[in-house]
Structure 1
Amino acid sequence: MSEPADIRHPGHVEPGASPNEVHDPLIRQEIKKAKVWFGAALLIALGVLLVQPLMVIGAGIILGVMFDGGVRLLGRYLPIGRSWRLLIIVLASVLFLVGTFYLMGLGIVQQVEQLRVTLELQVVRLTTYLTQQGLMPGASDVSGVARQALSSVGRLTSWVGSAVGAVTTMFFILVLGLFFAMEPRVYERGVQWMIPRASRDEFALTLDRMGFTLRRLLAGKLLAMVAQGVVTWLALLLGGVPLAALLGIITGVLAFIPNIGAFVSGVIMVAVGFSAGVDTGVWAIVVYVVVQGLDGYVFSPLVAKKTVDMPPALTLGAQILASALVGLIGLALADSFVAMIKVALERRAEREEKRVVTRSPPN
């Protein structure tokens, strides 16, 4: 019994050429080029549209690298499994934060409110003095300029403007960091799988160098943060500057952001110092100069010696671009991304130099 004419066997292929088929090799080559350019433009457009979540993922990766560095360091002294070492690092971090806020919580909250009032009074005094000297416009004009500046900053950081958004962002960064630190090899293998086989060895070596450099960079920054915070606190306390503990915490936290963080902490420190008198204000200036001198001549050179030496202008330019794109998180992570890009470029330069040496004829 014959099958109906309208029934086809599975896998049956209709004969004949398609009207969309291109036979000219030149046109085929141009179409392939157009596909490549279109794909590149699409990736750039997606990168611009998704730059904020991409930065959150990048922050999670950097936090995972920090956890991974602690796990590797702890592994030198405790021969236990990686999961247990990671658990120890996380619990130690949580206990440190909870203990710090428990011991200093109420005092810090009061000092934060006092700092806000002090800074407002100092700004009013400064603007009044400059207005009397004819160096600034009137109060109404100053208010208008301030509103415009604050609105501009609000546009740059609108995605973390609310407390709920900030907490949610930090939660995602923490979860991503923990996942990356638990099984870094899983994600590394996944990324390598998307790289062509011929380039996987070079990619693995570059990725390993980037991770090593980033671990060293973050460890150095954490040590510098602690050192600057403690030195600032003790020095301001010795000079009788108000809010010494809070100013030490602010200096230590802002030390994570090169260039800009030191400037902001210095302005706050000097403003609070002059609120208690000229002598304490001068002492605050001396403390700021000494702390930044230690950072410039001791901490930063040691970190650069162990990692990569990045010119200040390069770091500042990257911070300006990153903050304009994604706000505070871009400002905080700009130098880490610049360091990784520099390591990748240095590795590429080494590879090209080896090729030139290999191809050059012997004398």
Structure 2
Amino acid sequence: MIRDKKPAETVEKELTYIQKVWHTVAIVALLVVVILIARVAFNVLLMVLAGTLISTYFHGLGDLIQRKTKWKRKPAMYISVGGTFILLGLLFWFMGANIQKQVKELSDTLPHTVANFKAKLSETSLGQKVLDYTQDDDNSQKLIVTAQHFFSTSFGVMGNIYIIMFLSIFFTLNPSVYKDGIILLVPHDRKELAKCIIDRISFSLKGWLKGMLLSIVLITIMLFTGLTIMGIPAALVLALFAGMLKIIPNFGSLAAMIPGVLLALTISLNSAIIVALIYIVSQTIVSNIVTPIIQNKMINLPPALTIISQVLMGTLSGVLGIILAVPLLSIVFILVDELYVKKINDEDDVRSVQSKPDPTLAD
């Protein structure tokens, strides 16, 4: 029996279809690989930015020492880097025992604090609904998974810190190598623009660092004083915790207030209200003092856009992304302003000049 042979056109169409399917699969696979590489590369970029910020702090402190003492650059930088590590070591040395004691006290008190909070929360119908929702196994598991993902990083926290510290030291020792290397990659007619952008970014990052350091010191001192007067346990640890979380705008202040208010609830409801007011007033005073300093050194970022960038960065890169969301957003604004907005404005100015009639021809 002779089988019917398929026409050549049909065979060619089937081969073309199979080729298209394989091409599509290859493109999708390539996109997935590129996305995965880009995500890892983005986390590396964040670590580079963190190292740059620490290096900017060292150079800013070195500039201050050089202006005040009239010393040469190298001794000023040695004092900046070495003095910072020595100061941190002394602080941990003198405060370490007190901090360890208060951390133990906080860990011993916290279970009773949470139980007391749940008891007070269950007294209202709305509070009971919240407890039922959080105690549900599925919801609890979702919250745990979300928290783990939220605070996860690509290489682990200790690995990231290790890499960031080494990057900051290398950037501090010889910053001109990296700055000139970036400028070398730019076309000759754009080198001046590249220098201008780098200078603007450096100025902006210095302003952000000054504002953050001032915020951390002020909020730590104010909260430690207020919580000590109120007789709240582990006042030093709570104040340091709030100071460290100040580096995370919007969300950090809210997260820092929770353990302090919970501990105050073990004393009385009035104490909890007063402690909450201490947190709110301290944050408000610090924000009103520091915000003008930051706005003078940085681009005035819209609050809603800042929150959106924090949520996006937290989803992509965890806690490191949240911390660096504001300086990264500032860098993006500077790049857009220099590479797009000013170019558009210059073109509009040229068009407006060309459209004006020549007064000499009118005469």
Q: TM-score range by the shorter chain?
A: 0.7 to 0.9
Deviations 1:178-205, CA, capped at 9 Å, x for gaps: 1112221110111111112222211110
Aligned partner of 1:24 in structure 2 is none
The answer to whether the 8 Å contact 2:207/2:293 transfers is no
Q: Give the structure 2 partner of residue 173 of structure 1.
A: 164
Partner of 2:139: 145
Q: Equivalents in 1 of 2:135, 2:202: separation in Å?
A: 50
Residue ranges of structure 2 left out of the alignment (5+ in a row): 1-29, 358-363
User: Which residues of structure 1 form unaligned runs of 5+?
Assistant: 1-38
SS of corresponding position for 1:276: coil
1:48 and 1:245 mapped to 2: Cα distance? 38
Match of 1:326? 317
Matched residue pairs, number? 322
Normalised by the length of structure 2, the TM-score is: 0.81
Alpha-carbon spacing, 1:273–1:141, altered in 2? closer, same or farther (3 Å)? closer
Give the distance between the partners of 2:221 and 2:186, measured in 1 at CA. 45
State how far apart, in whole Å, the 2-side matches of 1:218 and 1:309 are: 15
- 1:306-345 maps to which residues of 2 (within 5 A)? 306-345=297-336
2:313–2:322 contact (8 Å) kept in structure 1: yes
Written as runs of structure 1 = structure 2, the 5 A alignment for 1:222-241 is: 222-241=213-232
| Residue from 324, 349, 354 that aligns with 1:357 | 349
Find the residue that maps to 1:257 and give its secondary structure.
coil
SS at the partner of 2:44? helix
Measured in 2, the distance between the counterparts of 1:113 and 1:144 equals: 31
Asked if 1:285 is matched to 2:279, the reply is no
Cα deviation 1:79-138 (Å, max 9, x = unaligned): 333332221112221122111111111221121222233333333333344445332354
**1:52-86 alpha-carbon deviations (Å, 9 max, x no partner):** 22221221112111212212222212333333222
What's the counterpart of residue 99 of structure 1? 90
Amino acid at match of 1:185: S
Partners of 1:138 and 1:204 in 2: CA distance:
58
Distance 1:42 1:66, change over 3 A: farther
Contact 1:60 1:176 in 2 (8 A): yes
Correspondence for 2:75? 84
Shift of the alpha carbon at 1:355?
3.2
Q: Give, in whole Å, the separation in 1 of the partners of 2:322 and 2:97.
A: 30
Superposed CA RMSD in Å reads: 2.5
Matched residue, 1:157? 151
Aligned equivalent of 1:217:
208
- How far off its partner does 1:319 sit? 0.9
Is 1:116–2:110 an aligned residue pair?
no
Residue of structure 2 equivalent to 1:269: 260
Taking the aligned partners of 2:185 and 2:31, their CA distance within structure 1 comes to 16
